[in-house]
C-alpha cells in the first residue's frame, strides 16, 4: 500500500511521511487563506477582468497553477508591508496603467499612485470646501444658497474641461468664495 500526494502525485510508503511532506502546490493550498495570498488572488482576478474583460472569477486552483502566482502573492505581501492606502484601488491602478508585474512592488510605482490619489482628493476636497464657504456666506448674508451655488457650478463647468485646471481651480473656488463673503 502507498500514499499519494494529491498535489504532486509523489507516493509514500507511510501515511505519516505524506502528512509531513510539503511540495510547492501543497504549500500554496495550505496558504490559501493568508491575507497576502487573498490580496494576490484578488489582483489576479482583477487583472483578467480589466485586461481581458473576464466575467467569470478564476478558481483558486487556477491561480495556484499559474506562472504568475509568485508575482501576484509577492505583490499581496508588499501592499500589506507598506500598509498601502486603499489596496483595491492600488491594485486597479497598477493594472489600468499597464505596469509590468515585476514593477508592482517598486517604491516609484507606489509614490506615483499616492501622487495621483492626492491630486484627485485635492480637487474633491477643494470643491467641498468651496460649498461649505458658500453655505456660510448664504447664512451670514441672508441670501439664498442656490445663488452662490449657481456661481460655483458655473465656475466648475468653465474649468471642468481641463483636469489640471480643475486642480488649480480648487484655489480659484476658494478665492471666489472669499470674494463673495466680502460682498
Ligand atoms: Zn506533493
Cα-to-centroid distance, 50 and ligand 1 (Å) = 33
pLDDT tens figures, 90-113: 999 999 999 999 999 999 999 999
pLDDT tens figures, 145-176: 565 566 666 555 554 444 444 444 455 555 55
What pLDDT shows up at residue 145? 59
What pLDDT shows up at residue 163? 42
Buried b (16+ CB within 10 A) or exposed e, 133-155: bbeebbeeeeeeeeebeebbeeb
Cα-to-centroid distance, 137 and ligand 1 (Å) = 71
What pTM value is reported for the model? 0.67
Cα-to-centroid distance, 24 and ligand 1 (Å) = 7
What pLDDT shows up at residue 179? 58
* Number of CB atoms found within 10 A of residue 65's CB: 11
Residue with cell 504532486: 8
Amino acid at each position: 500500500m502507498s500514499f499519494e500526494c494529491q498535489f504532486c502525485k509523489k507516493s509514500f510508503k507511510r501515511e505519516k511521511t505524506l502528512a509531513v511532506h510539503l511540495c510547492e502546490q501543497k504549500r500554496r493550498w495550505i496558504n490559501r487563506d493568508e491575507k497576502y495570498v487573498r490580496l494576490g488572488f484578488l489582483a489576479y482576478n482583477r487583472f483578467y477582468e480589466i485586461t481581458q474583460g473576464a466575467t467569470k472569477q478564476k478558481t483558486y486552483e487556477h491561480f495556484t497553477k499559474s506562472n504568475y502566482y509568485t508575482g501576484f502573492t509577492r505583490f499581496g505581501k508588499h501592499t500589506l508591508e507598506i500598509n498601502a492606502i486603499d489596496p483595491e484601488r492600488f491594485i486597479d491602478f497598477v493594472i489600468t496603467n499597464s505596469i509590468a508585474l515585476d514593477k508592482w512592488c517598486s517604491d516609484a510605482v507606489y509614490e506615483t499612485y499616492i501622487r495621483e490619489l492626492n491630486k484627485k482628493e485635492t480637487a474633491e476636497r477643494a470643491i467641498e470646501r468651496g460649498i461649505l464657504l458658500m453655505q456660510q456666506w448664504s447664512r451670514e448674508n441672508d441670501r439664498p444658497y442656490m445663488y452662490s451655488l449657481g456661481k460655483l457650478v458655473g465656475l466648475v463647468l468653465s474649468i471642468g474641461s481641463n483636469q489640471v485646471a480643475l486642480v488649480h481651480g480648487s484655489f480659484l473656488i476658494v478665492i471666489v468664495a472669499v470674494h463673495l463673503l466680502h460682498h
